[in-house]
Structure 1
């Protein structure tokens, strides 16, 4: 960072403030409007209809042949039981 801009953390703070309050978005919008008025921007749209699919196992599909019991079992809670936690008989 050139010294004329001051300490880097102050420059970063100013950058983030401008980012949060929309200053950068307004600058870009204004520059685009000026360039568009001068005919410097071509507004072409390109739509890509390519489809890319992952293998079923990569997508989280259930796997056949794997027993659910082989997965780790959650341990019971270690929380002490109080009188209010005990269900009433009856």
Structure 2
């Protein structure tokens, strides 16, 4: 088990919440794939640099994108939060903040309509038309509200 991999206790809590695979190839070790996704998200490294211990990078990326497109990630978060909230382990505090982020120079050529991309960003939520990058005195920026 790697330094950032799921512990046996964490896996025991997460495994029952995962979607059931009914069709297709025999399932691979999804714990290993999820640990690979978590490694990649934690490090920010390219998918191709994924350590071999997590399996082929294409398989790990394929699971990540498939679950991104069909809404599995938000569903897992909601289920985990509901279970922890029912156990009284979640407390809520509200903080409001916003910031301005400069866009990368390569963002200037991005399509304004994400649906026109060869492969749309994916996910179950459609971004409103008024969201995105815009010009201001500071250059090409976007505002983030939390």
TM-score, normalization: structure 1?
0.48
Structure with the largest fraction of strand: 2
Larger RCO (CA under 8 A, 6+ residues apart): 2
Question: Max radius of gyration: which structure?
Answer: 1
